[in-house]
Structure 1
């Protein structure tokens, strides 16, 4: 062979053995070296290239390992027959890596954003540091399918104290988010079940197996209209009674009783209660959970730590009626918990030592200040804007006296680096709104930036700022 084709550059950072390996491999793949060609001995090639035999040996060893050449004892090295190569590992063949494009906004009024500056990192870090050590080596093994018992115990205590729910740890199932738990709940119900959903309602629901099957039930200022539910053949209803999403309506006591009576009228009727942000209520006493009123095992309670701790934690849970426990055990006996055990124990200790309650109390005050700043800004400068759903949660609805579509208003806001979310994004069935209506989340907007963000939004929409 012509050894001159393997000139090496000793002035670059790429190792000599790798340069040689790449040169020979490229020559074989380009048919410059035919099958069966004998390569120079390690000594001869080392002398020719003025490099060590070790460098040659390493390059040849890599080519042998990848099947480009073969070593025949006491004879030499020969080019192998390469019919099909699974990949080409040369610099020219490297594929460009595309980075994910993430939109960035000056102001993002997403209803799911939280106040990240107020998270208790010091306490959280301490629990994480204590757990990630040899004494916790048992947590490296697979845990209980329903989730860690210690966390389920803390959740049961919390639900009793804060939501009036009496349940045992064995009724609680922990999973990585509502989207993961909801299909499990649906499997526990009869396959021919007819599902009813609030309209407008939680946007993740249509992306589940309920898509194109759900019966939309209208919502008014008192929550889900149970009279409309009773007119349907639905036997399962998914509801957010303590703070209806996205309208913010609270299901009245009369309708709660009516809904529970509806569930009792047939054996296969159930209520799925999503209590996603019940921790944050700003007027009056906390609204008890519907499950706490249930005397007939008809309510499946569902909640999450998304708003109370952080969205990225991915810890949610449901509480099963005792009548469904046996079927759960039979159906999901082979499942594994989808939340890392270390994360579960961090949350459990955080709750056990009282930090969770302290954090919630602090966040209520912070979000209350943000809500007050938001409503004050609108009432002072933009009184024509209608605000609803401000009793609880981390967003309000704003309705604008403008003769322009929500889609166009959203686009104008995006062009001004502001993210805003139309209520029509959460519809299962079209609803005619008198004015363009948007969800305005305030959780992720810093308090000192709240007024500026609202002014920027209103000005880009051409709503004149009133003079004091």
Structure 2
């Protein structure tokens, strides 16, 4: 909604002699526009002086409304950039007949359950899933489409009717056999085909685990920071999620926390998401022994493990487990393409039959012909070849992005570990508004994530999570240069707040960083 249209709309809606204060009226109208999607995520609101002048309101009235919207999470203000609509606002579509009367919209929180409202209010799934610097997305343009098409045509030429009906049980056996062989060799996973469960994404795997092994209100430990989706799915399944601090060796529960064992522990030991660290052997052994003594389940999300650039891939936590307390999760979304929506679990032998039954009972699975094509793809050696090719590609792109960051902000600027993955973290000084940077970047056509939002309960370290896998080599440098104007004002604001002399962007390279 353009500023002039917004001003005209507000002039029609505000009642100058109404019983409700003008600041409250302005807040109500803007809030409803945001909830309705008429002011979409990332939209920049007019400056307070401009809006005050165009609506004949006092600037204090406008500031009061903006401050209330910010305190409730509807907008984010960043010094030097402006006020932007937040990307976590609950939004339900309006009926066509309601769009002329924004004030008549029923707020989302009145229609949703407490659990549903919490889920929507804290949603972090982005509408942007491609381009610089979207995290967690592989370069789907380099997927061997012709090979996949040939294998698909072969399966569809005279399809087996059994592949076109519902699936019953843990998935297509030839795919589970190929997966078990691959995991034993590449990830040191101790498994047989009957332990492999094929699912439609890691979210479904987590939902099945929570539904079959967890009761309402039981506790799940999760790394802090952690993948937001895991937190969401576990909470949506009635578990109490308890964030556990992550140090340089991985999940680090305190002595007090260990006095009350959880039902689940969700970890990313081979490549911590989002920080990128590797869990130490001593910490792995401690968690395994703790799980064994307390009958807890460890959920190992082997995130980005295939893309390791320094030495061989780190062996799985599951491969160290002699007491069958680990459930191993993997996905093809990062190694092939997200739209495939196929992932897998390796469960302890005692659970394999129950998980196959639970999968069929809850989700009425299908996709068997896609599973058959994937099995052919793996058995013909195309999967391993694709992984090797993309590992080289992503390693080069990571280097290009690192070089771009260091060239602009100095050789000592802290960046996450370089050994693996499809993203990196550019750490920022304490107090930097990383959410504001991300919103400002969106207005520049660049997508990234704020590190602070990966921490439960707020107060996390500031940083930028930048994906490089889906960014062509020749785009990385120019795209980061385009991003710099969104970063520099936030860094200068931190410098001024510490009563340091104002620095240019080149001076920031030399001195703005101090201990995030």
**SS where residue 235 of structure 2 aligns?**
coil
2:416 aligns to what? 388
Matched, 1:201 2:226: yes
Mapped to 1, the partners of 2:284 and 2:254 lie a distance apart of 12
CA distance in 1, matches of 2:263, 2:364: 29
CA shift at 1:392, angstroms? 1.1
- Partners of 1:157 and 1:391 lie apart in 2 by 25
Q: Distance in 1 between matches of 2:381 and 2:438?
A: 42
Aligned to 2:480: 454
441, 448, 456: which is aligned to 1:413?
441
How far apart in 1 are the matches of 2:158 and 2:418?
A: 48
Is 1:146 matched with 2:173? no
State the partner residue of 2:405. Answer: 378
Match of 1:64 in 2: none
* Distance in 2 separating the partners of 1:364 and 1:334: 38
Query: Which of 148, 157, 160 in structure 2 is aligned with 1:124?
Result: 148
TM-superposed deviation, 1:372: 1.0
Matching residue of 2:302: 275
2:182 and 2:311 mapped to 1: Cα distance? 20
Work out whether residues 104 and 417 of structure 1, in 8 Å CA contact, stay in contact via their aligned partners in 2.
no
What is the 5 A alignment of 1:240-389? 240-266=268-294, 268-328=295-355, 331=358, 334=361, 338-383=365-410, 385-389=413-417
Cα shift readout 1:66-88 (whole Å, capped 9, x = no counterpart): xxxxxxxxxxxxxxxxxxxxxxx
* Within-5 A mapping of 1:208-247: 208-210=233-235, 213-227=240-254, 230-247=258-275
**TM norm structure 2:** 0.66
Deviation at 1:460, TM superposition (A): 3.3
Q: CA RMSD in A?
A: 2.6
Structure with higher helix content: 2
Cα 1:145–1:103 change in 2 (3 A) is closer
The SS at the match of 2:425 is strand
Distance 1:107 1:306 in 2: 16
**1:265 aligned counterpart, secondary structure:** helix
Q: Distance in 1 between matches of 2:425 and 2:149?
A: 36
- The alignment partner of 1:309 has SS state of coil
Give me the whole-angstrom Cα distance separating, in 2, the residues matched to 1:170 and 1:105.
34
Do the aligned partners of residues 330 and 104 (structure 1) sit closer, same or farther apart at CA in structure 2, a change above 3 Å counting? Answer: closer
Distance 1:428 1:321 in 2: 30
- The structural deviation recorded for 1:329 is 5.5
In the superposition, relative to structure 1, how do residues 279 and 289 fare at CA in structure 2: closer, same or farther (>3 Å)? Answer: same
Counterpart for residue 397 of structure 1: 425
Structure 2 segments unaligned to the other structure (5+ residues): 1-95, 100-125, 490-504, 510-516
CA deviation digits over 1:346-391, x for unaligned, max 9?
Answer: 1100000000000000000000000111112222332153211322
Partners of 1:149 and 1:352 in 2: CA distance: 13
Query: Offset of 1:143 from its aligned partner?
Result: 3.1
Judged with a 3 Å threshold, the aligned counterparts in structure 2 of structure 1 residues 233 and 375 are, in CA distance, closer, same or farther, namely: same
Structure number with larger C-alpha Rg:
1
**Counterparts in 2 of 1:170 and 1:103: CA distance versus 1, 3 Å:** closer
Q: Distance in 2 between matches of 1:200 and 1:465?
A: 31
Deviation at 1:404, TM superposition (A): 4.0
Out of 119, 126, 134, which is 1:110 matched to? 134
CA distance in 2, matches of 1:152, 1:300: 16
Per the TM alignment, residue 332 of structure 1 is displaced from its structure 2 partner at its CA by: 5.0
Provide the C-alpha distance between the structure 2 equivalents of 1:336 and 1:462, rounded to a whole number of angstroms.
48
* Partner SS for 2:299: strand
Once structures 1 and 2 are overlaid, which stretch shifts more, 237-246 or 395-404? 395-404
| Contiguous gaps of at least 5 residues in structure 1 | 1-94
CA distance in 1, matches of 2:279, 2:386: 27
Matched residue of 1:387: which SS? coil
Correspondence 1:133 to 2:157: yes
Other structure's SS at 2:160 match: helix
SS in 2 for 1:461: helix
- Give the equivalent residue in structure 2 for 1:57: none
CA distance in 2, matches of 1:104, 1:214: 27
